[in-house]
Structure 1
Amino acid sequence: MTGAIFDVDGTLLDSMPIWEDVSVRYLKSLGVEAESNLPQKLERMSVEEGAAYIKENYGLSETEEEIAAATLKIVEDFYYNEAPLKPGVREYLDRLRAENIPMVIATSSGRPHVEAALRRLGVLDYFGKIFTCSEVGEGKTRPLIYEKAGEYIGGDFKDIYVFEDAIHALETAKQAGFYTVAVYDPSADKDWKQLQEEADISVTDMRQLIADKEI
């Protein structure tokens, strides 16, 4: 390994649950009980679409814009105050840093959220650079963010490890020539078998990597 590229949500941070229940939290803050399957209904909607659904179906007096802003504020507060590292992450990052392995971030999340969470958790300075999809201009269905990260690290992509929990992202990194590590997250449970088949290696959490000097 000559370098490591880490996804954030579901890989380094146990942060996927906030995206699943942010609307439930929002309605609870108003004293409104959400339907049990609300997260599933909103799963494929944008924030704006979700706000429109909530306003229409719960009869709220707030505008769609106010609902969207309030839900995003809940997400922001979670990253700034709550989001934890997943098991084994700190120890594994410590090992890579001790071995002088360059590490960078490649994330679909916004820079302020990511920086705030990693700074609070004391690991922000482990990473030489943060690459975000919005700043690069393409999502993880295209290889640009990984290519930019790989070029920053330098050397052959095949010797740079990409850690991902999402199948579409891992497939993109693999097709771009990187060595891929699938990291299990409950939010992607339905894709876990496919992730295991596609990745060069797979781990249920990063504690499996700490003792393995080859990874």
Structure 2
Amino acid sequence: MKKAVIFDLDGLLIDTESTCFKIYGDLVRKYGHELTLAAYTERYSGKALIDNVNQFIADFDLPITLEEGAEFYTSNEKVYFDRGIPLKPGAEELLKKLKARGVRIILATSSVRDRAVGVLRANGVDGYFDDMVFGPEVEHGKPAPDVFLKAHEKAGERAEDCLVLEDSEAGVQAAYAAGIDVICVPDIKAPSETVRRMAWAVLPSLYEVSGILQL
């Protein structure tokens, strides 16, 4: 039995990936470009806002600053968040079972604190987490392992006693690089064969995680 479970946020716990794709698409469309779903999932999904905006500016030669791109994203995302962003199916049930078994629960996200805590609190699940790691706390974003190395350090457990739950390829790669077992619950993109080989399991939803962990 694992002693700590480390959760990603976007696309894993909360249903935000389609919203992210739409807002980034609106950003590049404003300057005459189109963002395909294939390009989004291949290059941008699961990565930090600042990293993505920098990449969009470079990839599409956007005539904006990093600050302007980030402001466009956050102001548009707030509209969606104000309407409410739901949890993914099985999320709260899994959190309840882990808490009942005394498993430490850690959030490891590329997001900033206010955004992450706000959406968890709005869904009534922020209290399940024993600790959290946010994007600005680490030097390198996913697929670098930094956020998960920090998470298992905060959990107070060895890497081999932890489990990461992720939806994105970048997240699976980050957990694998950190030496932590990872279950992939894909959101908008099925993992490649290379990423599948990195994962302990690939499951259709969070409901199936309980069975794998024998909760």
Q: TM-score range by the shorter chain?
A: 0.7 to 0.9
Query: Where in structure 2 are the equivalents of 1:15-94 lying within 5 Å?
Result: 15-22=16-23, 38-40=34-36, 43=40, 46-47=52-53, 69-94=71-96
Q: Which residue of 2 aligns with 1:10?
A: 11
**C-alpha contact 1:133 1:145 (8 A) present in aligned 2:** yes
Matched-pair contact (CA < 8 Å) for 1:167–1:194: no
2:173 to 161, 171, 174: 171
- Give how far 1:2 is off: 0.3
Distance 2:21 2:79 in 1: 15
Structure 1: gaps of 5 or more residues: 57-62
Name whichever of 122-131 and 139-148 sits farther off.
Answer: 139-148
Query: Distance in 2 between the 1:68 and 1:119 partners?
Result: 23
Equivalences, count: 202
CA 1:143–1:71: 2 relative to 1, 3 Å = closer
1:133 aligns with 2:122: no
Q: In the superposition, relative to structure 1, how do residues 213 and 142 fare at CA in structure 2: closer, same or farther (>3 Å)?
A: closer
CA contact (8 A) 2:112 2:134 kept: yes
| Residues 169-191 of structure 1: CA deviation (Å, up to 9, x unaligned) | 212222322111111111x22x3
Query: Is contact 1:161-1:178 (8 Å) kept?
Result: yes
* SS of structure 1 residue aligned to 2:36: helix
Specify every segment of 5 or more residues in structure 2 that has no aligned partner in the other structure, as ranges. Answer: 45-51
**Bigger radius of gyration among the two:** 1
TM-score (norm 2): 0.78
How many Å separate the matches in 1 of 2:105 and 2:19? 26
For normalisation by structure 1, the TM-score amounts to 0.78
The equivalent of 1:155 in structure 2 is 157
CA contact (8 A) 1:7 1:107 kept: yes
Q: Determine if contact 2:131/2:155 at 8 Å carries over to the other structure.
A: no
Asked if 1:101 corresponds to 2:103, the answer is yes
Q: How does 1:105-120 map to 2 (within 5 A)?
A: 105-120=107-122
Task: Give the 3 Å change call, closer, same or farther, for CA 177–69 of structure 1 in structure 2.
Answer: closer
What's the CA shift string for 1:47-80, capped at 9, x where partnerless? 4786897998xxxxxx887776344211123234
Question: Does the Cα contact within 8 Å between 1:80 and 1:117 map onto a contact in 2?
Answer: no
Letter in 2 for 1:144: D
The letter of the residue matching 1:147 is L
